[in-house]
Structure 1
């Protein structure tokens, strides 16, 4: 049976008015009006979607620059090309970088989570390569066009929660129970309870395990982790001092961080550690491992404690196999328990200025306008 003209019209309208098209329409409208009515401001198109970056780009106001998020899928459309031709600066994510962006002749800044392609340093069309940590740029920060520009977070250290939890509250945050070390967090929680501490653990994330996801992991260590995760799930069904659930960004800021006494982040793998930065912005001490960029945020004995589970020198390439063993697990649990007992002795601290919005903006403006 053929569809009626009315049904075909409605189906076509729904197809046209899909989320992506509506989003692009409002982007183009906003972009065009901005270029007409505020021609003196520099327009920067960015395509880095991680909330830490997008929160900064979309919420930090400056008299010289405004940012627009540009979906990489728009670049080949006529309106997308119009935006690329009429912006002033491209601020691109290295992982989503395409050579075709360079043909528009705009000042191009590329932000890197890890090492950058060597060809980008030699390409005169690339103005700057930004590294998010000393570790990520450890062998390239001495090259021309390289800059260390840390991610930034809003400073919440003066935020006052409406109600403080009576129990000493440990939080662990992230997605990927094995990578984020939620099994370690639960073992630490059990150890503290066994020693008589009144403690609560909140796992802000999701649990699960799949051997195929972590082929590099020691099978014995990974099976132990899986067993602990299963035990966690069973325990949480009958005890209210263990909460396991994902939190939305708003709820993390309004509810999760304000009630926390410490962030326990015993990760087996990390790119930067944005969760750590968020916790520190609330003045929450952090107990974590000495890994990649984490020592650049956590200063041992000042705003938290670092566990050096496999004697990393802070410079050499990470041997992640060493973090997937029973020995790593035992050391990390023991050290976490020891350091959590010491966090009350830390003095009050403020967010390190190098991770503030104003410092990131100062660094970016010096690069944009150089």
Structure 2
């Protein structure tokens, strides 16, 4: 009998070998893509939009400020506005953010350009219209040398400012008894007309250009004034007096020449019988201002002329105090220095200094303090 066999044990499944545990995956947040990211990465640039807005606002402020004073700086504002427009357009093309910057720049730049163009155009037009009333460029000294000028420019230039009565030719024509020849004020659009002369009559026609600040004009008046007044008073001559203003810049900003010339215009307009006395008074050595000083105030001018003429009426007083004819006086000076002397033998004769005296179309070239030379000059022309 054989030995019993041990029971067969079921085969145990093979246990897998232990392996190291892998770490559980972790979630790492990733930001969403920037919808405005440029191809090269990063945020969109803001510089052009901000620059457009800043330049546009500065341009608009400049143009508006200049417009308030009708100043040429409006053109600068317009130019800055153009720059703002260019920057804004570039920012628009590049689609830069925020859009409010370049929109503001475009709007402000456009307004600044519009203001600049309008004010600039109006300024040029105003300068053209006021050319007749502008003071001439002056290159003179205290001896009364006038500015350089070109002949014939303003011969037909119209009057755009208020003219006084009794000065339709641009000067005061004194005839017999030293009475000014009457004439109505020029209307806007009218130009000064040359005075009529009749040299066949034997009456001398004398033109005298003065500046009441010019010391040599005062010397000429003291030396030759009495003889001239005698000739005119007696009917042997007519005298056309033309007061100028080109020595204004020697008055420390007080434009004394213009105010003195305007004061004489006030007298000839409102009290013509006192015009000769006013003219002579302003050339007296005790009245003429010291060289380089500001000269008399308007109140001082009125007081001086009121005393020397025996009394001025209220309209003349108001005219002097308010400087009513200062623009006229400055316009007249501009016209004189750009227009040949009327009825001169030399058709291109120009006023070059003060005092400037022309008798029967011939200029006096002697010294203003030489009475004998001036008398001989008159005698030669008169033929006696």
TM-score by length of 2: 0.28
- In terms of fraction of residues, the more strand-rich structure is 1
Structure ID, larger Rg:
2
